[in-house]
Amino acid sequence: MRIRIFQHVPFEGPAAIAEWAESKGHTLEYTRFYDNDPLPAASDLDMLVVMGGPMGVYDTDEFPWIRNEIAFITDAVESGKPVLGVCLGSQLLAAALGADVYPNREKEIGWFPVTFHAEWAPASLVVFHWHGDTFDLPEGAQLLAESPVTKHQAFQFGQNAVGLQFHLEVTTESMEGMIKACGHDLEPGDWVQNAEELRDGLPHARETKATLFRLLDRLAQNAVH
């Protein structure tokens, strides 16, 4: 299966998603918007994974490719291809489905629990967050996860599209990349941990990766070949 990774910044790649793909014998191909890569042909992918980044869905003046990316995501969902959006990717997916994206009432950065409403996930799980925006639930979507500070943490649209506001894919390397690039976000707050606390939470990544792999297995079953 050919999995297309939409990557917005060098330090937010697929991380544990790449481990899953390798274990299943799938091929990863990249569209790196920070390198001005063109969008692929729709026929060049079986599954789409849209990664995160510090920009916002509404930053189209600074990042004009966002509009075309959203249109591509809309087409991918409508064509029935599996689509996974992570953090910014979930916000782009929500926008592609017609929902509003806007700044959350608080930044949420660190290891905090979410409540899941999904059979592939435990009822409660401590996951890694790094986001300042949130979104309305797209019309017709099912809420999959929530937390005290962010009502819409994850959603599913149809059988093939899932958005995750948090980072189930986090690894030591991917976290260190975020800390290095975006450490200025770690200002004291009720829902913001410091770098030491972020690193101390890494043992949670074993269970978040297992949950991610179950989700990816389900999405892959819906791949269009």
Model pLDDT, residue 198: 98
Calculate mean pLDDT across residues 36-46: 95
Q: Residue 151: is it exposed, middle or buried by C-beta count within 10 angstroms (0-12/13-18/19+)?
A: middle
**Does 167 qualify as catalytic in the annotation?**
yes
- The single residue listed with the structure tokens 């809309």 is 74
Model pLDDT, residue 154: 98
Instruction: Reply yes or no on whether the pLDDT at 224 is more than 60.
Output: no
Calculate mean pLDDT across residues 93-110: 97
**Does 176 qualify as catalytic in the annotation?**
no
Instruction: Reply yes or no on whether the pLDDT at 207 is more than 60.
Output: yes
Instruction: Reply yes or no on whether the pLDDT at 40 is more than 80.
Output: yes
Domains in the chain, CATH or no CATH each: 2-220 (3.40.50.880)
| Phi/psi of residue 189, nearest 5 degrees | -165, 165
Q: Which percentage of the chain shows pLDDT scores above 70?
A: 99
Model pLDDT, residue 223: 74
Nearest Cα residue to 155 out of 215, 71, 209, 222: 215
Residue of 87, 129, 131, 152 with catalytic role: 87
What is the rounded CA–CA span in Å between residue 164 and residue 100?
16
Model pLDDT, residue 146: 98
